[in-house]
A and B are shown apart, each in its own frame.
Chain A
Amino acid sequence: MIPSAFDYHAPASIPEAIALLSRFGESAKVISGGQSLLPLLKLRLGTAEHLVDIGRIAGLEYVREEGGSLRIGGRTRESVLERSEIVQTRFPILLDTARVIADPLVRNRATVGGNLAHGDPANDHPATMLALRATVVAQGPNGERTIPIDRFFTGLFATALAADEILTEIRIPVPPNRSGGAYMKLERKVGDYATAAAAAQVTLDGAGNFTEVGLALTNAGPVPVRASAAEDVLLGKRADDARIAEAARRAAEVASPTADRRGSVEYKREMARVLAVRALKKAVERAGGR
């Protein structure tokens, strides 16, 4: 439980951090909350010669509404997200998610940006952000660029971020009226990664039909997955039990989990379905559909 030796850098600004990352290339790693990175280093499953700590850079921790979107600073801790008033009142899906990530101690350090940047399909925020159709903002040597969440996760522990890029913000479109979302997670005990989990974000029209649907799964394959076929089943249709059940079945079809101590492939796929039903129903309820 002791990592190999590394050098530690604590830049005071984003340009300084990018300069360090550019200089050290692949031998450097950004460290944010350290709650995913440090366990890897301590178990010597990974090594880094240089750690570039972005925790001393001012102005990276915020949750605010601006220009029609919710903006989450790249180094916003889960505990800050949880306590944010706008999240509590208007983004129940984010509140659901933050509350089931690890435990309060971890959440006092772990960051939303790190949760995405780690590219771990077992993390909870990727599915939520897919359901919310978020955009990731990154800064690198060539300035800033935005990456749609659908193009962000490129493989197991791999993202669209370059080695010298820093995730600085997450943008989520503010949903219209009659919208609701929910995140449902099955875990063996508090603090565990998901056996299965589903994130659903929906908007209904006056007649109770779906006008927007986002549905995604956690720990259901090497990358966080959007259940597009399930979304298509629902779009434009009435939010009734039969259709939700059908959508959840479609969602489970895209799950390709692996067997481990959390359960067999069969069980995990079934749980993806069961939780998709529950998340969709809750989202509809929160959208005022029931």
Chain B
Amino acid sequence: MSEPRTSPEVCGMGHSMKRKEDPRFIRGKGNYVDDIQLPGMLHMDIVRSPFAHAKIKSIDASKALKIPGVLAVITGETLAKYNLHWMPTLMSDTQMVLPTEKVMYQAQEVAAVIATDRYVAADGVEAVEVDYEPLPVVVDPFKALAPDAPVLRTDKKDKKDNRIFHWQAGDRAATDKAFAESDVVVKQDMYIPRIHVASIETCGCVADFDRVSGKLTVYMTTQAPHAVRTVFALVAGHVGLSEEKIRIISPDIGGGFGGKVPVYPGYVIAVAASVVIGKPVKWVEDRMENLQADSFARDYHIHAELAAKKDGTMTALRIKTLADHGYADAAANPSKFPAGLFSICTGSYALKHAFAEVDGVYTNKPPGGIAYRCSFRVTEAVHCIERITDVLAQELKMDPAELRLKNFIPPEKFPWKSALGWEYDSGNYPAALHKAMEIVGYEALRKEQAEKRARGELMGICISSFTEIVGAGPSKQFDILGLKMFDSCELRIHPTGKALARFGTKSQGQGHETTYAQIIAEELGIPAAQVQVEEGDTDTAPYGLGTYASRSTPTAGAAGSLAARKVREKAKQIAAHLLECSPDDLVWEPGKFSVKGAPSRSKTIQEIALAAYTNHPQGMEAGLEAVSYYDPPNLTFPFGSYIAVVDIDRGTGQVKVRRFVAVDDCGNIINPMIVDGQIHGGLAMGLAPALLEEISYDDEGNITGGSFMDYLLPTAVETPSWETAKTVTPSPHHPFGAKGVGESATVGAPPAIANAVVDALAHLGVRHVEIPITPEKVWRLLKEKGLAE
């Protein structure tokens, strides 16, 4: 990164400005949904199904209604009166709000208790009696596609099987031909387990319907408040909710990671309850409800095949995948992409031929398929290509670094058109890998490994050289329920030269209040400290699609920069008026316009702002404001090379990540400290599925791992001291050359660790270990190979 252009006082791009939001968080003064207290507020708690698939024979609420303070018990029958018992998902599937006939997964919402007090609501839930008749359960997605499998979605009249969609990309025939002509083919099955975002703050809302004004205000844990408002208007229009009377407020959000994009039944029930009762209703999930019922991520059963020449040149990639979506496709992908951006699976390699297909399947599990800190199935794609690359290296007895360097898309070949149709904007993959190898001391580690192997000790070193695809997206391809995936900024400069900037996105920890202010500071020279950033209130913020999939900087950040440039254009006219010269004679440096050749004749942005309200030129409108709705011309393609070094305990099978070097390239950097923070957090979240986290189900569809007792979030103890570094390859099409970075580490880290573990065992003939790599899995391999202590 070159030196910042602005002074530390202005704090534009490239400065590690301390986060403006931190003083309130550090002092415990954040304002989250659960902090909202409204007069007369009622509380909601939810009765959930103990069965994964069962007919509801009856719901008896009489005992609950006798508890003092319990006001109402809402069931599917109640909602059916208003036709609100089903709702659409973002993928144009349907999902129950509350069931009228049967439940489809364990922990599904069955009824809701509304009470004057949170404790009474819990007692009410305990007292609701539900009579179930268990139905056959489908847990295994492969069995779900068997001809004799029970059809789960009996609500869909013509549905005869459990298939949701078939998606494919690439040229199948050309790929098959390339396989036939290749020297070597490697094949590997791999499962990317079902995991959960497990954000610190669970989901919840306070729904507040004002009977007098007819206005509905919902404080809600959502990453996409504007889209939610429109969806509410569309699905509840028939009961009188109209978009101008709906206000969604996302206050501070304690982590979203994609888990707060969907609309969950709880939100809808709370809104319905508030509308019917006329009082505010609060609903906040507890931890187990959050883990057990909210949208999961991943759950991809992948079969990958890679073809190559003898010398290691990769020639073709073929992938077949089964995607377990639970009982409804409640993913939050762009609508035209049922498998998200899985077609980035050709990764960083100059593959000429590729074919990928994904089949979505219904099972008796919670609905979802959300993009957990990942731009829509990119994590799955990266794991697949980075793992199979190592399998190939092993087959060819080639060093995995050498194989990668041989096959990288050469830096001079960008923009690169991938075999599955993407145009990679920019990249320099060898530079990132070389840098990572240098930092980690690759050669020395390989030597150490050889010595250790001779002594019977186990250590592994390996790589993940990922390419991301983020910043959805260009309106010609990208929409959610028809809403194009632009994003927006509305910028006002006050008379004293301070600014208010509002965006269509919503930070959940990313630091937008700081980074967006730095973007404005960079463009206008107004100190970032004097730029107030606001998001998340649909009554005040411009329309936008929200924050997920690393899209905020590529879209809303770009809008901020373009709005500021519009302001600068007007400022130039005003400056020319003040300096009595032609606008063409002015030169801009951050913070002021000066006359060409006469630098002492200048006007600062603050002077210009004052003039915009006190002394604007005749014929020009007063004020200094601009709006930008930015429709990106392409996605951005951040990349990086990660190297993990692991040691394995031969007695217990425990894997210890000794070192982890992460070299990231996200183009031009707004705030290096925030980027590092994003990488650190993302790496911990990437280590998690590699070694610890998984949500699984037994044969009856009972969740195992539905609390933090068994859903193992890593802590500082399990994570190594991350070593981070950067290369900078700007995006050529983004206004300030940035790419997204929030998800690179989550996406890139799991295969680095998995590859390192396999590398530690490679000399024993081990080719693959499924994640999460638990001590027992490793121990079983050691035992099988006669190496267990």
A→B interface (CB under 8 Å): 1-2, 4-5, 44, 186, 188-192, 195, 261, 263-264, 267, 270-271, 274-275, 277-278
Contacts and interface: CB of A to CB of B under 8 A. Distances in A.
B776 A278 contact: no
A189 B693 CA distance: 11
B654 A186 contact: yes
B119 A264 contact: no
Contacts of B705: 261
B445 interface: no
Contact of B126 (A4, A192, A271): A4
A189 B652 contact: no
B4 interface: no
11 contacts: A1-B288, A2-B119, A5-B119, A5-B123, A186-B652, A189-B715, A190-B717, A261-B705, A267-B779, A267-B780, A277-B651
Given A186-B775, A263-B775, A263-B776, 8 more contacts: A1-B287, A188-B692, A189-B692, A190-B717, A190-B718, A267-B779, A274-B652, A278-B651
A57 B482 CA distance: 66
B101 interface: no
B286 A270 contact: no
B122 interface: yes
Interface in B757-789: 774-776, 779-780, 788-789
Main secondary structure of the interface of A (DSSP, over half): loop
Counting from the closest, the 9 A-B pairs by CB-CB distance are A2-B122, A190-B717, A274-B651, A1-B286, A267-B776, A261-B710, A263-B776, A189-B712, A186-B652
Contacts of A267: 776, 779-780
A190 B122 CA distance: 31
A76 B788 CA distance: 40
A271 B778 CA distance: 13
Contacts of A278: 651
Nearest to A264: B776
Nearest to B652: A186
A278 B789 CA distance: 11
Nearest to A192: B712
A252 B287 CA distance: 37
Contacts of B780: 267
Interface bin, chain B = 20 to 34
B69 interface: no
Interface of B: 118-119, 122-123, 126, 286-288, 651-652, 654, 692, 704-705, 709-710, 712-715, 717-718, 774-776, 779-780, 788-789
Contacts of B775: 186, 188, 195, 263
Given A1-B286, A263-B776, A267-B779, A190 B715 contact: yes
A264 B288 CA distance: 25
B789 A274 contact: yes
Contacts of B717: 189-190
A264 B69 CA distance: 47
Contact of A44 (B118, B126, B287, B718): B126
Contact of A4 (B123, B692, B788): B123
Contact of B118 (A2, A4, A263, A275): A2
A188 B710 CA distance: 9
A271 B652 contact: yes
Nearest to A268: B776
A275 B705 CA distance: 26
A143 B195 CA distance: 54
A117 B729 CA distance: 62
Nearest to B654: A186
Nearest to B707: A43
A261 B652 contact: no
A5 B117 CA distance: 13
Nearest to B653: A267
A5 B709 CA distance: 25
A75 B642 CA distance: 49
Nearest to B780: A267
Contacts of B774: 188, 263
A5 B126 CA distance: 12
B779 A270 contact: yes
Contacts of B286: 1
A274 B651 CA distance: 6
Contacts of A264: 776
A5 B119 CA distance: 9
A130 to B, nearest CB: 22
A274 B709 CA distance: 24
Q: Which of A188, A192, A278 has the most CB of B within 10 A?
A: A188
B121 to A, nearest CB: 8
Nearest to A44: B126
A64 B395 CA distance: 63
A68 B704 CA distance: 48
A168 B714 CA distance: 37
A253 B118 CA distance: 50
Contacts of B651: 274, 277-278
A191 B712 CA distance: 10
Contacts of B712: 188-189, 192
A183 B527 CA distance: 57
A275 B649 CA distance: 12
Contacts of B718: 189-190
B230 to A, nearest CB: 34
Contacts of A192: 709, 712
Contacts of B714: 189
A44 B288 CA distance: 13
B243 to A, nearest CB: 36
Contacts of A1: 286-288
A15 B230 CA distance: 65
A186 B779 CA distance: 13
Contacts of B779: 267, 270
Contacts of A4: 123, 126
A261 B705 CA distance: 8
A102 B506 CA distance: 36
